[in-house]
Amino acid sequence: MKNPVPANENYKEYITKHYNELASDPYKYGYIQFSQFVEIYENNKLSGFGTFIKN
């Protein structure tokens, strides 16, 4: 899948500004959702899932 956010744009600002457009296209929205999942999954600085469910 192709990244729907143009290379020269701030990723978070673009998603916020163009949310309705992205949400209306399942491929664009899916790309955004999956890329966020991968970013969180690969971030070793975050606590493990067990830490969150204990609270």
Provide block-wise average pLDDT over 10 residues at a time, the chain (55 residues). 94 96 96 91 80 71
Q: Which residue has the tokens 């790309």?
A: 31
Query: Of all helices (H) and strands (E), which one includes residue 50?
Result: helix 49-54
Is residue 38 a part of any domain in this protein? yes
Closest to 15 (Cα-Cα) out of 42, 45, 39, 35? 35
Domain hosting residue 24, numbered range: 8-42
Residue 37 resides in a domain: yes
The answer to whether residue 50 is domain-embedded is no
| Domain count of the fold of the chain | 1
> Does any domain span residue 49?
no
For residue 55, what pLDDT is reported? 57
**Do the domain assignments include residue 31?**
yes
